[in-house]
Amino acid sequence: MQPLLTLLQINDSMFPIGSFTQSYGLESYVSQGIVKDTPSATVYAKNMLRHSIYYNDAAFLQMTWKLLEEKKPAREFQKLDEFITVIKGPAEIRMASKKLAIRFLKLTQTLHPVKRCTNYLKSIQEGKLHGHYAIAFAMFAHAHGITLKESLYALYYNMLNGIVTNCAKLVPISQNDAQKILFDLQPTIQQLVEEQESLDEDMVGLCCIGQDIRCMQHEKQYTRLYIS
């Protein structure tokens, strides 16, 4: 029961790491009239799950998990951190991943210190590593007896929850519609989690061109409510 409770806590939308300040390009989609109502918000959310998160943060979490299971040395985690930094093209996305990682690691240290998390945070603060949320989340979850599948479900749900919450604020859509999107996309999350293990490593980091362009446009957007 305790691993489940820990997972619920660190994955809660109210866990204060600043994820609510990020829209990951959605603000640009809305300002350009591409995401403008519930149907387009639903399509956007599903595409983000299938074509962005699946090949990126969920894949990065799984790669971190593999290193942890195989008890790989620190240099292998450094290589993964560098790989993710290169893959995340838009500056806003890289910085979002770093900020969430640092805040997550600092907060979880106060809850229950994990040596590997402590070392990762230190390397980020010393400028040796960039820092990424998927790596930090995997390290802490793995150390607390949470399974890979549970962690993947949590990551997908948390990111989808952030998407629909931002849609409710920006589009806007009703809270009821936002909840319906969350519920209706549960089968999509389940399918992606089941397929995650079979993802070809050559496909990891597959670029979601539309999102990357919107994130880059957001950097120079005249009025912004979100950091990314």
Q: Is 110 helix (H, G, I), strand (E, B) or coil?
A: helix
Distance of CA 215 to the CA centre of its chain: 15
Mean pLDDT of 98-107: 98
pLDDT tens digits, 14-68: 899 988 889 999 999 999 999 999 999 999 999 999 999 999 999 999 999 999 9
The residue that leads in pLDDT, 223 or 102, is: 102
Task: Give the model's pLDDT for residue 224.
Answer: 87
pLDDT tens column, 75-93: 999 999 999 999 999 999 9
Residue 206 carries which side chain, given as an amino acid letter?
L
pLDDT value, residue 191: 98
Question: What would the mean pLDDT of 102-128 be, rounded to a whole number?
Answer: 97
pTM: 0.96
Indicate the pLDDT class of residue 1, thresholds 50, 70 and 90: low
User: Letter for the amino acid at 123?
Assistant: S
- Closest to 100 in 3D by CA, of 61, 44, 59, 143: 61
List domains and CATH numbers for the chain. Answer: 2-9+24-218 (1.10.4190.10)
Report the b/e string of 132-148 with b at 16+ CB within 10 A.
bbbbbbbbbbbbbebeb
What pLDDT sits at residue 105?
A: 98
**Burial of residue 155, with CB atoms counted within 10 A of its CB: 0-12 exposed, 13-18 middle, 19 or more buried:** buried
Cα 105 versus chain centre, distance? 15
**Taking residues 100-127, what's their average pLDDT?**
97
In this predicted structure, the answer to whether residue 221 has a pLDDT above a threshold of 90 is: no
Q: Look at 74 and 14; give whichever has higher pLDDT.
A: 74
Per-residue model confidence as pLDDT tens digits over 150-203: 999 999 999 999 999 999 999 999 999 999 999 999 999 999 999 999 999 999
